[in-house]
Structure 1
Amino acid sequence: MSTATEYRDLLVQFAPRPIQSAADYRRTVAQLERIMEPHPSAARSQLIEVLATLIERYESRDYPTPEGDPADVLKNLLDAKGVTPAGVAKATGISPATISNVLARRRCISKANALVLGKYFGVSATVFL
């Protein structure tokens, strides 16, 4: 089967379209997971790229990565999640004093704490470093 024919068949099967909702997002991620394989054909690689682009566009629009210094990032994530510094301290095991000092810009976030905070907030640890 030619690459063009296989790609056309994949487009018919998966029917990629812009992601407008959380349900569309979940559907597209599931499609991407179904088509992923260690050594995809050229046609599958093209569809993987299309689906990944759609997912990336939706995530950057609806779930932007916080930017700024670590204190601003932490404050924005606290606000977005509706949690208090004390609540984060309790949930993560990071001392309340450490979180308070980071928010007041008296202390930097350690790599270990960045990993814990990244996992807690569902973001990359690099946003805290």
Structure 2
Amino acid sequence: MKIAPIRNEKDYQNALNRLEEVFEAKKGTDEGDELEILSILIDRYENENFPIGMPDPIEAIKFRMEQLGLKQKDLAEVVGFKSRVSEILSKKRKLTLGMIRKLNSTLHIPTEVLVQDY
């Protein structure tokens, strides 16, 4: 078991290949320890080199509505009138601070997602 930092694409591919080899290792074994350490190194490399940006606020609202089975009329109870919901979802109206607070507390969408420009 020779573990080294992942510094480049070749190191990354080697780590992924080795991870695949030890993927079924039992916890508490040498290979299990190697699996755990490789996972941490790969995760760190991916976060640094392949960052995932924040989702669009309106797409996040639509996604959450879909997850919860909500319709526009249901969202009107959170942000106001049904026409306002339509304007928001079509990006014709910006979210206000009050709307952001209600969406955060009701739909549990992080405020850092909702406050972004769109």
TM-score (norm 2): 0.47
Q: Which has the larger radius of gyration?
A: 2
Q: Highest relative contact order (Cα 8 Å, sep 6+), 1 or 2? A: 2
TM-score (norm 1): 0.44
